[in-house]
């Protein structure tokens, strides 16, 4: 599907990082981009810069997601593109001993559930609602192409580190549902793909001390650096615009394989 002038698109987590880079790449091709995010200041500023629309959305909220899609569609029309970048992470061992007093604790189930609700259920919520909207559209070609969806997982879906049980489970779920969803939507001309990013130079990573970033960069086989958000955006655009790209989960990681810790 070619991205051209006025193609409606929605990017979740679009106010910064991977989502912002993707929103910029879409807008550069003329797409009308709606940014779903919880950061109003950054989201409003980027939407104004791109000539798009900001929608304050928490992907764990049914009501906010519905309101976000309604606002985006009123401004730009029914989206043909959805890119899911909204997500969170945490780190805690499944069970462990306190180093000072030897007391035993386990991963709080409420914290585990929260990560699943944002990264997995939130992603599926946006996919399901966007796909239902895309079903109302006329095909763009004789092949029946109606739209494209790109999701964000992580290399932690395949080689999660210590403390990443919740994060890895959530991202593994995104990988696991990609092919079934692509098959669910195959007769409707909606393609679904997922990117598994490695270590990227996002605002969250920028907060880390320089020595930490240098050590992480050195762990990447080649090139020995953190990934650029623009590289994620280029792969997302390839998935959107290449009609034979469907049902795939693709690592974008400089060949890194994460160590246990």
Please, which residues bridge with residue 37 across strands? 56
Q: Beta-carbon neighbour count of residue 157 at 10 Å?
A: 22
167 a catalytic residue:
yes
The dihedral formed by the CA atoms of 12, 15, 16 and 19, expressed in degrees to the nearest 10: 30
Largest CA distance in the chain: 68
- Which residue in 167, 228, 232, 244 is the catalytic one? 167
Cβ(137)–Cβ(1) below 8 Å: no
Helix (H, G, I), strand (E, B) or coil at 252: strand
> What does DSSP say about strands 95-97 and 104-106: parallel, antiparallel, or unpaired?
antiparallel
61 phi and psi angles, rounded to 5 deg: -105, 120
Q: Beta-carbon neighbour count of residue 222 at 10 Å?
A: 8
Cis peptide preceding 223, ω within 30 of 0: yes
Active site residues: 167
């Amino acid at each position: 599907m070619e991205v051209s002038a006025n193609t409606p698109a929605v990017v979740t987590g679009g106010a910064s990082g991977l989502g912002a880079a993707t929103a910029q790449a879409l807008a550069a091709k003329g797409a009308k981009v709606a940014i779903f995010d919880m950061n109003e200041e950054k989201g409003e500023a980027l939407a104004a810069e791109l000539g798009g629309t900001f929608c304050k959305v928490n992907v764990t909220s049914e009501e906010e997601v519905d309101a976000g899609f309604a606002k985006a569609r009123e401004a730009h029309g029914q989206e043909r593109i959805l890119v899911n970048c909204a997500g969170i992470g945490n780190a805690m061992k499944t069970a462990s001993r306190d180093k000072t007093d030897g007391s035993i604790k386990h991963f709080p189930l409420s914290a585990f559930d929260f990560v699943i609700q944002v990264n997995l259920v939130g992603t599926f919520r946006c996919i399901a609602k966007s796909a239902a909207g895309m079903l109302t559209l006329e095909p763009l070609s004789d092949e029946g192409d109606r739209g494209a969806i790109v999701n964000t997982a992580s290399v932690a879906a395949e080689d999660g580190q210590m403390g990443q049980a919740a994060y890895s489970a959530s991202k593994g779920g995104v990988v696991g549902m990609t092919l079934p969803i692509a098959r669910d939507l195959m007769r409707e001309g909606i393609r679904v793909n997922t990117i598994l990013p490695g270590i990227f130079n996002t605002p969250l990573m920028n907060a880390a001390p320089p020595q930490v970033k240098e050590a992480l960069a050195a762990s990447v086989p080649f090139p020995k650096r953190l990934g650029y958000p623009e590289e994620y955006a280029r792969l997302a655009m390839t998935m959107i615009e290449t009609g034979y790209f469907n049902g795939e989960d693709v690592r974008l990681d400089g060949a890194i394989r994460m160590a246990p810790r």
